[in-house]
Amino acid sequence: MFQAKIYVTLRKSVLDPQGSVVRKSLFALGYHNVPEVRIGRYMVVDLEVADRAEAAKQVKDMCDKLLVNPVIEDYTFELVEV
Amino acid sequence: MKFGVVVFPGSNCDADCLHAIQTVTGQPVEYIWHKSGSVDGFDCIVLPGGFSYGDYLRCGAVARFSPVMTPVIEFAQKGGLVIGICNGFQVLTEAGLLPGVLHRNKNLQFLCHDTFLRVENNTTPFTCRASLGQVIKVPIAHGEGNYYADPETIRQLEENKQILFRYCDPRGEITPEANPNGSINNIAGICNERGNVLGMMPHPERCAESVLGNTDGQLIFQSLLDFWQRRCG
């Protein structure tokens, strides 16, 4: 069995309103050395699959079909055997 | 002309749409449950506003895989008339029937107020009753209505005149101040290239009766009926 840790982030070209508000808040707290904050999504997906390559293929399919919107989001993932 | 209003779990403008269509057009209109496997017999499908599936994951992302969406997508691809309002617009982009995406409003706030829209193309089934450049007042109510698409897609939308409504000031000027949510080029509503699928964030069904103090939203429903009757006649 594998566990996929999936990181979904807004594409560089897309304005991240949440990130810019958080950056301003950090600035107000005295962190003046933070030029940018980007906020994304972290998902943990367990797969009952024995083979690593098959698990990777399924996770990629899931991301492309549902978990990620390619218009504004990018993703990376790592697979851990559990 | 028979209208169908799709009801997803979490839709909350379905009854308003049904009522507005009935009142404005006098045409038959029925709900279509999200588990329905068919949209046979309908001439226009409305995807209403709301929070389908709790807006989980992304707005519209889960609704897009509802059983009813398979026949809705087929219907649209065959040229059938489809309107997505607010959450319905989000579902249409997720389903790939319209380009781009609606993401968080620039100021992160849920916005619920009247906006002015300028009609940018009056040669579509949704706007044929309007005059070009006509300004209508229609309310918005959304947290994720900030239209985004890559520059090439925006260029195509502009070139093909697929932008039907832009946020404007009361005089029809397209200004940054009149843009409530940060949408690129003040986009409030677009259609697909073929011109049979409309997505818009503002709610015409909420301003389609004089008792509500504003009838500007009638324009969209009257246009549809006009379009249909001319085609049939």
| Contact between A17 and B107 using a beta-carbon 8 Å cutoff | yes
What's the pLDDT tens digit per position in A22-79?
Answer: 999 999 999 999 999 999 999 999 999 999 999 999 999 999 999 999 999 999 999 9
Shortest Cα distance, chain B CAs vs residue A72, angstroms: 8
Shortest Cα distance, chain A CAs vs residue B101, angstroms: 7
Q: How many other β-carbons are positioned within 10 Å of the β-carbon of residue B229? A: 11
| Contact between A66 and B146 using a beta-carbon 8 Å cutoff | no
Task: Mark whether B203 is an active-site residue.
Answer: yes
What's the pLDDT tens digit per position in A65-77?
Answer: 999 999 999 999 9
Helix spans in B43-185 (H): 69-77, 87-94, 151-159
Look up the pTM and report it: 0.94
| CA pair distance B23, B114, nearest whole angstrom | 21
Q: What ipTM goes with this model?
A: 0.84
Domains observed in chain A: 2-81 (3.30.1280.10)
**Residue pLDDT tens, chain B, 233 long:** 999 999 999 999 999 999 999 999 999 999 999 999 999 999 999 999 999 999 999 999 999 999 999 999 999 999 999 999 999 999 999 999 999 999 999 999 999 999 999 999 999 999 999 999 999 999 999 999 999 999 999 999 999 999 999 999 999 999 999 999 999 999 999 999 999 999 999 999 999 999 999 999 999 999 999 999 985 43
| Contact between A71 and B148 using a beta-carbon 8 Å cutoff | yes
The closest of B126, B129, B52, B123 to B82, measured between CA atoms, is: B126
| Contact between B101 and A71 using a beta-carbon 8 Å cutoff | yes
Task: Mark whether B86 is an active-site residue.
Answer: yes
Nearest CB to A72: which of B57, B103, B108?
Answer: B103
Instruction: Characterize the bridge pairing of strands B111-119 and B135-142.
Output: antiparallel
